[in-house]
Structure 1
């Protein structure tokens, strides 16, 4: 089985899933990616980009027979058994990585694409070269940006140990520790999150906050403003490139908050629950499908009231045992389902 994975936003949880599939499926696997920047532009233009960049190949197209017949005519290949082979190549070498035709171990120069050796996976971290004008403009726009882990002044915090930060404090006596582990972009609604925290601070309620997640070139102004206003309540500020440090931060937190306006699943929230955090999520998007009702809020005012109570009684969340189900999200439960889906026979309704 040949598998083509396409990811237009290769970063964060998106990258995590793609890398996991590559590692666990262990098939003739091809991964085509674009950098994790400009989410809204990717949603609008990535399909056009990949349509022009990824050469058609029946080695991995999940299609019914009538569509495969049409594709044969389009790309000019003939079928030999279960594999599609290009005509005229010495030894009838199979087409591999992204359908690029290889001859004597070299990629045809006009393709402009990289070669994947048999049995290996090809990952293009910085996006694929574009043969078309529209995708070229897309790539040029992205090339002008550079991804940053976090703001310059926070680089010294990238390797840290929360156990050291909290040393000397009795666990039950320390202030409520709130985590926000999301991308530093407007679709995660940091404005609402910080507005609620500043309201807690105005009422002199004790809490500490760790603002995690990755920042990019364009960081919303609210982050620098909120860091200054929150002052000593900030325990950690910035992206942690080490997964061990990141999970340690979540393990030391009491509550994890989402204020997202856009969320397909919410890996960061589920990870935090695995690490023992009490989740508070909007009663919207995908969250009601994952979290029981007691972990959902409908308005910022409701979020504030929940956190206000937790600040006064942090022992409430520290003694709490999560009432939802998380085992179904583990690879042990999902691995077989992914394999079955990718190996399924194509249907006429696709």
Structure 2
């Protein structure tokens, strides 16, 4: 079987997913085309043109399956290369633009949303990494189209898409041995992107308040850092200097070693469709503490969720730090690993 795998905006999780597929499913002849994760507005609208000018020979070949991320303008690409329409067309949604929170001053990403929608409609199969991703896409598309000039009868086809769509998480790699099933210690981990949508303000405000009350903990702030990042990070580095054991991106071995000794991994995010960083930390024995929103209710037990407010996070975190015996068991990560998900991916490809 010949599969053309297209990833138009290869962020870290997209690269992990694409390379995991090509490495794990070996009885397939893979052709992988990727584009770097920069110049978002151009990338999501211009990827068919970029590939047609740079990869014309590759796109002119015949494939059994075309597997594209939702950043790929599949409808336009099939228009430029009609023979690709004869292949089984699958679109995988790591995220969707209808549920992406906009920072102050940002304009709505209308074109990006339309690319998501056209690609889904041009596919034979649509796959999402979480039920939240699926439902926020369908509901968001319906609300978006209601605001357009024409009263389009979109509800029925969108609901059919919801019914036929598959939920299949991005798999995480197995670890040697099994992670801890109970959490002790006081090392708290932040291992998310340093961006506004991850809501670092609530996270650091809570830790600063706990530190001022003398609650004992250590802190490792890791994750992907960009040239520009929210100012709260610099404030937190000063206010929590005596609690820090790591600051900034770490070499992979050191990052994993910190996860191995972490007690708690926290999310305060406004934007998450799966959360690979959280899954990876939980897999290695860190107890996840996540808000009661987004994808988290379908992934983590109630005992690992707080009410989504800053006050709720502070109460739960303080209780866990002062009394480690009050912490629930660390949830199992087996359902997120390749051994549990590979058959689903093989079925997705038609194997």
Pair 1:199 & 2:209 matched:
yes
Inter-partner Cα distance in structure 1 for 2:79 and 2:310? 57
Q: Identify the match of residue 345 of structure 2 among 319, 338, 349.
A: 338
SS of the aligned residue for 2:228 comes to coil
Q: Identify the match of residue 63 of structure 2 among 48, 56, 59.
A: 59
Name the CA shift for 1:292/1:32 in 2 (closer, same or farther; >3 Å): same
Q: Identify the match of residue 257 of structure 2 among 239, 242, 248.
A: 248
SS of the aligned residue for 1:54 comes to helix
Q: Identify the match of residue 321 of structure 1 among 320, 329, 336.
A: 329
Work out whether residues 225 and 249 of structure 2, in 8 Å CA contact, stay in contact via their aligned partners in 1.
Answer: yes
Q: Matched residue pairs, number?
A: 239
Inter-partner Cα distance in structure 1 for 2:6 and 2:230? 29
Partner of 1:239: 249
TM-score, L = length of structure 2: 0.61
Name the CA shift for 1:46/1:36 in 2 (closer, same or farther; >3 Å): closer
Inter-partner Cα distance in structure 2 for 1:196 and 1:7? 37
Per-residue deviation, 1:307: 0.9
Inter-partner Cα distance in structure 1 for 2:79 and 2:312? 59
SS of the aligned residue for 1:10 comes to coil
Partner of 1:289: 298
Partner of 1:135: none
Partner of 1:3: 3
Per-residue deviation, 1:260: 1.2
Inter-partner Cα distance in structure 2 for 1:259 and 1:76? 44
Partner of 2:23: 23
Root-mean-square deviation (CA, aligned residues, Å) is 3.0
Per-residue deviation, 1:240: 1.6
Q: Would you identify which runs of 4 or more consecutive aligned residues in structure 1 move more than 4 Å?
A: 60-63, 71-79
Per-residue deviation, 1:72: 9.3
Q: How does 1:131-210 map to 2 (within 5 A)?
A: 176-210=186-220
Partner of 1:212: 222
Inter-partner Cα distance in structure 2 for 1:5 and 1:203? 52
How far does the alpha carbon of each residue in 1:285-324 deviate from its partner, in whole angstroms, 9 at most, with x for none? 111110011111121111100111122123544xx422x4
Per-residue deviation, 1:45: 4.3
Per-residue deviation, 1:78: 12
Name the CA shift for 1:77/1:33 in 2 (closer, same or farther; >3 Å): closer
Per-residue deviation, 1:74: 6.1
Inter-partner Cα distance in structure 2 for 1:74 and 1:312? 61
How far does the alpha carbon of each residue in 1:21-76 deviate from its partner, in whole angstroms, 9 at most, with x for none? 12112322222323334xxx63x54332222223454425559xxxxxxx999648
Inter-partner Cα distance in structure 1 for 2:19 and 2:84? 32
Gaps of 5+ in 2: 53-58, 68-76, 88-182
Per-residue deviation, 1:273: 1.0
Name the CA shift for 1:212/1:72 in 2 (closer, same or farther; >3 Å): closer
Q: How does 1:29-44 map to 2 (within 5 A)?
A: 29-37=30-38, 42=40, 44=41
Work out whether residues 190 and 220 of structure 2, in 8 Å CA contact, stay in contact via their aligned partners in 1.
Answer: yes
How far does the alpha carbon of each residue in 1:135-165 deviate from its partner, in whole angstroms, 9 at most, with x for none? xxxxxxxxxxxxxxxxxxxxxxxxxxxxxxx
